């Protein structure tokens, strides 16, 4: 478990699944093994998974303790969820809640659950199965969603286009319980955390900026999936709703954050890092 401290705010990552569910060339259809290999020099060893001989990737949650609030950012895949098309995600029986407890978090203590976007690997632990019913995992939390994101996925769910059914089992129960807080994509959560729009991967995708006396960090959700996209921002993922827009958003993001010292916490990167401009181009270090 990784814990960082930035200006009085602690950041702890709980990893639910420590390995990629998709090879890089499948995840980033415009990439090729040869093009990725040109970056091996800086990707290895920190961002490389020797076991798969591919870029490292993981799924999990960030626990953010600001001076006022206990906040979770994104909630992984979840347990017991029917996800037939992906064996790694299907009816999991993982140790996520025990791992949260090991990090000192009991579900009832969580003040906010902040969701960057409503994909299946980001909303799963919003709910858990109790006596055959999906109930909010965090009973006292407000779940913060960008309204534009919710509008899109509500419509997708209603027309039967929610591929995994994650809106039905992981978002609708939150809305029904009255725990959803629909906000605009620039919403301020508290004095330290605020949403920033970063659409493209999904229509209402939002990043979360942490501002502290010791500098900024950005939870960038799925604005980038694989570390190599820092150097190749034109490569969008096969899961991007609007690949062209995602590439524009990504390029703007990496250019804007290069050499600023802003800590980048991308949902699936194996570790945090900084975007730096080097002789050969933009890199993640
Ligand atoms: Zn994701």
User: In this predicted model, what pLDDT tens digit does every residue of 119-165 receive, in sequence order?
Assistant: 999 999 999 999 999 999 999 999 999 999 999 999 999 999 998 99
Domain ranges in the chain are 2-284
CA of 164 to the centre of ligand 1 (A): 13
The Cα–Cα gap between 154 and 230 comes to 32
**Tokens, residue 18:** 């420590």
Q: How far is the CA of 126 from the centre of ligand 1 (A)?
A: 15
pLDDT digits (tens, 9 = 90+) for 46-73: 999 999 999 999 999 999 999 999 999 9
Phi, psi angles (nearest 5°) of residue 180: -85, 135
H or E segment to which residue 153 belongs? helix 147-158
Assigned CATH for 2-284:
3.60.15.10
> Confidence class of residue 20 from pLDDT cuts 50, 70 and 90?
confident
Q: What distance in angstroms lies between residue 145's CA and the mean position of ligand 1's atoms?
A: 16
Cα–ligand 1 centroid distance for 221 (angstroms) = 7
Question: Would the pTM of this model clear 0.75, i.e. be above it?
Answer: yes
Rounded percentage of the chain residues whose pLDDT exceeds 90: 96
- Per-residue burial over 238-268, b if 16 or more Cβ lie within 10 Å, else e, is ebbbbbebbbbbbeebbeebbeeebbbbbbb
Q: How far is the CA of 231 from the centre of ligand 1 (A)?
A: 19
The pLDDT score that the predictor gives to residue 21 is: 76
**CA 199 to CA 64: how far, in whole Å?**
23
* pLDDT at 163 (0 to 100): 87
């Amino acid at each position: 478990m990784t814990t960082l401290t930035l200006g009085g705010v602690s950041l702890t990552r709980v990893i639910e699944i420590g390995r990629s569910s998709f090879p890089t060339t499948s995840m980033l259809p415009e990439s090729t093994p040869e093009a990725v290999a040109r970056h091996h020099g800086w990707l290895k060893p920190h961002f490389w998974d020797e076991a798969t001989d591919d870029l490292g990737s993981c799924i999990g949650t960030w626990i953010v303790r600001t001076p006022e609030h206990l906040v979770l950012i994104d909630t992984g895949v979840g347990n017991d969820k029917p996800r037939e098309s992906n064996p790694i995600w299907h009816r999991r029986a993982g140790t996520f809640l025990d791992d949260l407890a090991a990090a000192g978090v009991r579900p009832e203590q969580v003040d906010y659950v902040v969701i960057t976007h409503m994909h299946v690997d980001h909303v799963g632990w919003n709910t858990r199965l109790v006596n055959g019913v999906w109930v909010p995992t965090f009973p006292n939390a407000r779940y913060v969603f960008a309204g534009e994101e919710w509008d899109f996925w509500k419509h997708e769910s209603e027309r039967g286009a929610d591929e995994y059914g994650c809106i039905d089992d992981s978002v609708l129960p939150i809305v029904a319980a009255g725990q959803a807080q629909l906000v605009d994509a620039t919403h301020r959560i508290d004095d330290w955390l605020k949403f920033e729009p970063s659409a493209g991967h999904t229509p209402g995708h939002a990043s979360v900026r942490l501002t502290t006396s010791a500098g900024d960090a950005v939870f960038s959700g799925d604005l980038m999936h694989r570390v190599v996209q820092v150097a190749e921002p034109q490569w969008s993922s096969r899961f991007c709703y609007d690949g062209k827009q995602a590439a524009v958003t990504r390029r703007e993001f990496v250019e804007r954050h290069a050499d600023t010292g802003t800590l980048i916490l991308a949902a699936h990167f194996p570790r945090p890092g900084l975007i730096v401009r080097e002789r050969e181009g933009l890199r993640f270090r």
